């Protein structure tokens, strides 16, 4: 267990998850419905404190078996509103965000899929103490769009014929 994860667990047990005046909102986006075997997806995770009290919030991701956790990494962007978090980490996201009232923290989480997984769906869940858990699932595909799609990553739907 890393020292950051241990600190997160200790603080989570010691600090209340949400107190009166805290309203925590968690969002997750990757811009994909599909992912290729072996492809790395970048997720944007954002935690916002819309309340009027400061919050110390442990944040982590849970990965389904089709992901390669050893290849995962993340970077935190605390913004300019006094929020703090660890700068970056390797492996699945596990961080502690300190959010004053009205503050927001964002992470870019990069996770590769296993190239030889028998799974057909990958799911990533984000858990932040005091906020509703968010989840995203993508279907695994070999190739979804045509071979001649400029800037394509192989996971976009083809447009209907005639467009």
Strands (E) in the chain, as ranges, are: 24-29, 34-36, 40-49, 55-63, 73-77, 88-90, 94-99, 104-112, 121-128, 134-141
33, 138 in Cβ contact below 8 A?
A: yes
32, 44 in Cβ contact below 8 A?
A: no
* Cα–Cα distance, 51 to 40 (Å, whole number): 35
pLDDT band at 56 (very low <50, low <70, confident <90, very high): very high
pLDDT band at 8 (very low <50, low <70, confident <90, very high): very low
Sign of CA dihedral 97, 129, 28, 122: positive
Say if residue 22's pLDDT is above 70.
no
pLDDT one-digit tens code per residue, 75-121: 999 987 999 999 999 999 999 999 999 999 999 999 999 999 999 99
pLDDT one-digit tens code per residue, 134-155: 999 999 988 665 555 554 555 6
* Cα–Cα distance, 42 to 144 (Å, whole number): 18
* Cα–Cα distance, 26 to 99 (Å, whole number): 13
């Amino acid at each position: 267990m890393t020292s950051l994860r241990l600190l997160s667990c200790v603080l989570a047990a010691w600090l209340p998850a949400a107190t009166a005046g805290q309203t925590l909102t968690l969002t997750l986006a990757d811009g994909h419905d599909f992912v290729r075997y072996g492809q790395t997806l970048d997720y944007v995770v954002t935690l916002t404190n819309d309340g009027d009290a400061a919050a110390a919030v442990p944040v982590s991701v849970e990965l389904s078996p089709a992901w390669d956790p050893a290849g995962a990494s993340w970077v935190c962007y605390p913004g300019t509103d006094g929020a703090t978090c660890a700068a970056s980490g390797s492996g699945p996201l596990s961080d502690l965000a300190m959010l004053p009232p009205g503050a927001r923290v964002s992470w870019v989480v990069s996770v590769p899929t296993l190239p030889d997984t028998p799974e057909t769906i990958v799911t990533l869940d984000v858990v932040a103490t005091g906020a509703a858990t968010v989840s995203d699932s993508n279907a695994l595909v070999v190739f979804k769009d045509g071979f001649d799609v400029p800037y394509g990553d192989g996971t976009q739907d083809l447009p209907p014929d005639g467009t």
